Amino acid sequence: MSGVGKLKSILRSAGERPMEWLSPTVTGCMICGKTVLPHHGSSYRERGMASYRLLRQCLCVSCFASIPWLDRIQCEVCGRGVDCGDCIRRPERHFVCNRSAVGYSSVMREWLAMYKYRGQESLAPMLAEMLVPSFLRLTEEQWLQRPQRGEARTHHGLHRLKAWMDSFWHPYAEAARRWDAITYVPVSRERAQERGFNQAQQVAGFLSDKLGIPGYDLLIRDRHAEKMSFKTRAERQRDSRTLFTGNEGQIRRLENQSHMSSRESLRILLIDDIYTTGSTAEACASAIIQLASRPVQLYILTWARS
């Protein structure tokens, strides 16, 4: 093709897709593939410190609207949106509490299946992003007092400027400082072979990178259990009790790394995809606590609460 012909063909193809040329940020929705238009303000309220900006960029309006956020919590222990009997029935537990990002609706079930069973790993960052608001709320309600309007004034002007700059560059630094480690629920070797990845590990990895909290592999899965979804409640609790052991090397490493912190107990965040009865969480918590030489406060952060 001659030079002029080539130029012409380039110009012609440019004319066909002016949108793509002018606004490179217009991409498809990660779930349904529809065009995501840039949002100019939105009817969705920002919740607490959390911002949904990134999520809105990768989801179309209707997919974003279909997320059943769990932002009103009834049960302080398991993070359910309705009153729950489970937590009363459980006599003792080794973790402090669970918080989940969303309710496990049929749409959410579909999203998780796309990622977990079909293996669309490109969804992992988006699912991890969905956990951020819950993470912030959890941190907030446990340890952070929201600064009162009057209070902030007392600071020196320059100090305030620095704080403002910090919040700009490291928006999660304040929350992340409260934590010592992020870890995840492991899967068995067979499952990893078959699926090719561990969903909880991937999500934990993204969160660790984003928030700047060190990630550890604190747990080892001992045996291959049947898929949990085929079991009754009692079976689940019995089976998962002996499923995990702590990873001693990693626990020691964590203890050494964090011995500098002034807190007397280790604060660990455990990531999983779904919280159903809490037996997995319980088994993991007790496995870690058994091996730890310092007191441990274990919090569970799950993507969905069924």
13 is a site residue for another protein (CB under 8 A):
no
17 is a site residue for another protein (CB under 8 A):
no
CB of 197 to another protein, least distance (A): 5
CB closer to another protein out of 198 and 280? 198
CA angle 222, 228, 232 (to 5 degrees): 120
119 is a site residue for another protein (CB under 8 A):
yes
Strand-by-strand arrangement of the 97-103 sheet: 97-103, 296-305, 266-275, 181-184
Residues 127 and 301: beta-carbon distance below 8 Å: no
Helix (H) or strand (E) holding 176: helix 173-176
- Residues in CB range of 228: below 8 A, 6 or more apart: 236, 240, 276, 280
Site string for another protein, 122-151 (x = CB under 8 A): x-----------------------------
105 is a site residue for another protein (CB under 8 A):
no
CA angle 225, 198, 288 (to 5 degrees): 70
CB of 64 to another protein, least distance (A): 17
195 is a site residue for another protein (CB under 8 A):
yes
CB of 127 to another protein, least distance (A): 14
16 is a site residue for another protein (CB under 8 A):
no
Which region, judged by CB under 8 A, interacts with another protein, from 11-19, 90-98, 174-182, 193-201?
A: 193-201
Q: What are the C-alpha distances in Å from 263 to residues 137, 139, 178, 242? A: 21, 15, 9, 30
Provide the CA 159 distance to its chain's centre, in angstroms: 32
- Applying CB under 8 A, among 84, 87, 107, 192 the residue interacting with another protein is 192
Distance between CA atoms of 259 and 264, rounded to whole angstroms? 9
User: For residue 82, what are the β-bridge partners?
Assistant: none
- Applying CB under 8 A, among 2, 106, 193, 293 the residue interacting with another protein is 193
**φ, ψ for residue 267, nearest 5 deg:** -105, 115
CB of 59 to another protein, least distance (A): 17
197 is a site residue for another protein (CB under 8 A):
yes
CB of 118 to another protein, least distance (A): 5
CA angle 61, 25, 27 (to 5 degrees): 55
CB of 200 to another protein, least distance (A): 12
118 is a site residue for another protein (CB under 8 A):
yes
Contact residues for another protein, defined by CB under 8 A: 114, 118-122, 192-198
